[in-house]
């Protein structure tokens, strides 16, 4: 799944570890999501959307 997580994180000058802490996941999970190797669970997608004040669709794109 394509996503804008890396761009959104960079815009805020957050490290992967800082984003991971905010979302209560591991840094490795953030890395895997950013690289498209792991699709987040729906609760995690909602948590990311709330954190960035965006809709899930504005962050994640299920069109490959």
Q: What pLDDT does residue 63 have? A: 78
Name the CATH superfamily, with its identifier, for domain 2-55.
lambda repressor-like DNA-binding domains (1.10.260.40)
Confidence of residue 64 (pLDDT cuts 50, 70, 90): low
How does the average pLDDT of the chain come out, rounded?
96
16 to 31, 44, 51, 62, 63: CA distances (angstroms): 7, 15, 14, 22, 24
Q: Does the model's pTM come out above 0.85?
A: yes
Q: What pLDDT does residue 5 have? A: 97
């Amino acid at each position: 799944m394509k996503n804008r997580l890396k761009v959104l994180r960079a815009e805020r000058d957050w490290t992967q570890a800082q984003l991971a802490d905010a979302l209560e996941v591991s840094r490795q999970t953030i890395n895997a999501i950013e690289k498209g190797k792991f699709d987040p669970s729906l609760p995690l997608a909602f948590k990311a959307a709330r954190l960035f004040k965006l809709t899930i669709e504005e962050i994640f794109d299920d069109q490959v």
